[in-house]
Structure formats: C-alpha cells, structure tokens
C-alpha cells in the first residue's frame, strides 16, 4: 500500500516480509554498512535479526530504493513494537528519514520505539521535529588488546565447559530468562532463536562458555562472537540471579576474552545499557572504553519502563 509522496521519492510502500522484499532491501543495507559500519548485513543469507519478519516500508526513487524502515510487529520482551530506519547514503539530507519515521508512527501501535544508531545529530533533529524523546541509550564499548588477559578465578565448585548443540539449548534459554527478565531484547530469547543462531556462519560452540555448578546446573554463560571484519564481541554474559555476587560474571567475561585473544582478534566490543553503572564499571576496569552509542526514541507522552 502506497502511503505518501516524499520530494523526489515516488512513494512509500508497506510490504509484507518475503524473499523478494529481502532481496530489494539487501543492497541498501550493504551500502549503509559500507558508509556507517552498520548494520551487519551480508551479501547473502538472512538479513540481520532486527530486520527479519514484521513489515517493511520501502521509499522508492524511480527504480532505486532510497530508504527503508522495518517494523517489528511482534514487539520486544515487553510487547512494544520496535522500528529501524535506514536511508541510502546517496539519498540523505532529502527528508526521506523524516518521512519514514512519520509513516512508522502512523502505522505502528502506541508506544512504538525507534532506533537511531551512532549518535547522528540528524536523528536527534528528526526526533525533536516529530515529538519523540530518548527513552533508552545503548553504549558500545571497545577493548584493544595490549597484553595477556588475566586468569579467571572461579567460585568454589564451579567449572566451565563449552556449549554442546543438541544438549544445552533449553538450559541456556532458562538461565538467560532469569538473568535478563528486565531486558527488552535478550529477555525474549527462545530455543528457536538459539537454533537459528547456531545456523549463522559466525556461530562457534567452542566460543560459548557455560559455568556449571557441582550439581551440573548451568549457572551462567559467556557467548562470544567474531564479526566478519575480525573484531570480537562479548555477545552476551548472563548469570543466574541466584549465583550473582561471587565473581562469576567477571570470571566468565575473562574466559571469553582469553578465547578471543587466543583466536587472534585485535579488539573486542560489547553493548551495555547506559544506565547499567555496575556493568560499565566492571568493563571499564578491564580496559573497555566507550566508542559509540545507540538511542531509542518514543513519542514524548509514552514513557514506558524497561
């Protein structure tokens, strides 16, 4: 359905998720990655997780896709719809981003949240113009390896082992649920999500570390990732609330960092909520420094928790 005209853009059209839609969108995401370093789109295979399913809004200029928005109609762990907006690098400063955001607001359920990546001033101006305010800030922190990683110290009775596909999915999801019951994305992880990630080209079970108690129960985990550009990531560190406070999170972080260091990656990134001061303090002591930030916006009158 065409919803509007935007300057030189012929129309904005909502389309359902389909293989044909994915192949229209992919070149734009690859162009944005070349210009901005994000999103993590690849020339083939599934789109990044934040662009899968839901609905797609295409801004077409002649035969060229000049802009795109994705609306996650399923919502985050708290049921809030979430949108991503991307404008082709060659089509910026023409009002396309504003038009896409306005169309998303008209389409989406009340309380929708819209991501702006990289602290772009233009995104802040669009948000202010459309009556949006920041409701969440996600920091990127980066560590450049300069020496050996300290050896982890494990709580008494705890051992560490690698994840075993076909055995550990349900237990991983369960401890993740308890560790991240407050988190909009991570708290919604399912067994199906884990299985889908196991099919991703970057997945390596040897880089997913499980902390196991004397009774065999999984107490926490550190899921590492190596990106296509060779940079490592502290993808997820989760600790069961019942096992927190004894240094398990730090030990898991260190064992994952040592694994990435041994794999030869030059640097490691991680994402952390800007208001999670204790976690930021831990990562800072390990040598991580802030390198970027992403901001989530919502309509000014829709202050939701989480």
Domain boundary assignment for the chain: 2-138, 146-265
Q: Map residue 13 onto helix, strand or coil.
A: strand
Domain made up of 146-265: CATH architecture: 3-Layer(aba) Sandwich (3.40)
Q: Which of 163, 149, 122 is nearest to 232 (CA)?
A: 149
Q: Tell me 20's DSSP state.
A: H
The CATH number that domain 2-138 falls under is: 3.40.630.30
Distances (CA, A) of 67 to 58, 90, 112, 175: 6, 10, 19, 39
Per the annotation, does 244 bind a ligand? yes
Task: Record the tokens describing residue 180, joined without a space.
Answer: 């991240």
pLDDT per residue rounded down to tens, the chain (306 residues) = 444 445 455 689 999 999 999 999 999 999 999 999 899 998 998 899 999 999 999 999 888 999 999 999 999 999 999 999 999 999 999 999 999 999 999 999 999 999 999 877 888 999 999 999 999 999 999 999 998 999 999 999 999 999 999 999 999 999 999 999 999 999 999 999 999 999 999 999 999 999 999 999 999 999 999 998 999 999 999 999 999 989 999 999 999 999 999 999 999 999 999 999 989 999 999 999 999 999 999 998 644 444
Find all residues with CB under 8 Å of 264, minimum gap 6, and list them.
none
Domains 2-138 and 146-265 share a fold: yes
Per the annotation, does 52 bind a ligand? no
Neighbouring C-beta atoms of residue 222, cutoff 10 Å:
26
pLDDT at 303: 46
Per the annotation, does 249 bind a ligand? yes
SS3 content of the chain, % helix, strand, coil (to 5): 30, 30, 35
pLDDT at 9: 53
Cα–Cα distance, 115 to 298 (Å, whole number): 9
Per the annotation, does 247 bind a ligand? yes
Q: How many residues does the chain have?
A: 306
Per the annotation, does 233 bind a ligand? yes
Residue whose entry in the numeric block shows the structure tokens 């300069």:
146
Per the annotation, does 220 bind a ligand? no
> DSSP string spanning 157-219?
T-EEEE--TTTSHHHHHHHHHHHTTT-TTGGG--HHHHHHHHTSTT--GGGEEEEE-TTS-EE
> In the chain, at which residue ranges do the beta strands (DSSP E only) sit?
2-6, 9-16, 55-61, 64-72, 82-87, 113-117, 132-144, 159-162, 208-212, 218-226, 232-239, 267-273, 289-299
> 218, 168 in Cβ contact below 8 A?
yes
Per the annotation, does 225 bind a ligand? yes
Task: Record the tokens describing residue 97, joined without a space.
Answer: 């981003």
pLDDT at 275: 94
Per the annotation, does 268 bind a ligand? no
Per the annotation, does 53 bind a ligand? no
> 267, 144 in Cβ contact below 8 A?
yes
Find all residues with CB under 8 Å of 171, minimum gap 6, and list them.
217, 218
Cα–Cα distance, 173 to 64 (Å, whole number): 41
Per the annotation, does 118 bind a ligand? no
Per the annotation, does 283 bind a ligand? no
Per the annotation, does 57 bind a ligand? no
The Cα diameter of the chain in Å comes to: 66
Per the annotation, does 271 bind a ligand? yes
Burial (Cβ within 10 Å: 0-12, 13-18, ≥19) of residue 124: middle
pLDDT at 20: 94
Per the annotation, does 207 bind a ligand? no
Per the annotation, does 96 bind a ligand? yes
């Amino acid at each position: 359905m065409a919803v509007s005209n935007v300057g030189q853009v012929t129309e904005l059209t909502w389309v359902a998720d389909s293989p044909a839609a994915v192949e229209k969108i992919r070149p734009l995401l690859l162009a944005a990655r070349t210009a901005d370093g994000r999103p993590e789109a690849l020339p083939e295979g599934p789109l990044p997780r934040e662009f899968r399913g839901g609905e797609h809004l295409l801004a077409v200029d002649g035969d060229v896709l000049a802009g795109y928005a994705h609306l996650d109609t399923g919502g985050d762990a708290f049921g809030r719809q979430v949108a991503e907006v991307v404008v082709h690098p060659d089509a910026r400063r023409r009002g396309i981003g504003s038009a896409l955001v306005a169309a998303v607001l008209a389409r989406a359920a009340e309380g929708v949240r819209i991501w702006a990546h990289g602290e772009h001033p233009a995104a802040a101006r669009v948000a202010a113009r459309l009556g949006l305010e920041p409701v969440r800030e996600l920091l990127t922190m980066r560590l450049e390896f300069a020496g050996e990683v300290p050896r982890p110290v494990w709580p008494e009775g705890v051992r560490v082992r690698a994840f075993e596909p076909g055995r550990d999915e349900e237990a991983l999801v369960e401890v993740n649920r308890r560790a991240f019951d407050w988190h909009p994305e991570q708290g919604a992880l399912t067994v199906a999500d884990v299985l889908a990630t196991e099919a991703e080209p970057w997945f390596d079970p040897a880089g997913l570390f499980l902390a196991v108690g004397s009774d065999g129960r999984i107490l926490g985990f550190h899921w590492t990732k190596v990106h296509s550009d060779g940079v490592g990531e502290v993808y997820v560190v989760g600790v069961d609330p019942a096992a927190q406070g004894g240094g398990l999170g730090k030990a898991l972080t260190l064992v994952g960092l040592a694994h990435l260091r041994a794999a030869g990656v030059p640097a490691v990134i991680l994402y952390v909520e800007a208001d999670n001061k204790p976690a930021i303090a831990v990562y800072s002591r390990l040598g991580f420094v802030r390198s970027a930030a992403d901001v989530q916006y919502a309509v000014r009158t829709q202050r939701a928790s989480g």
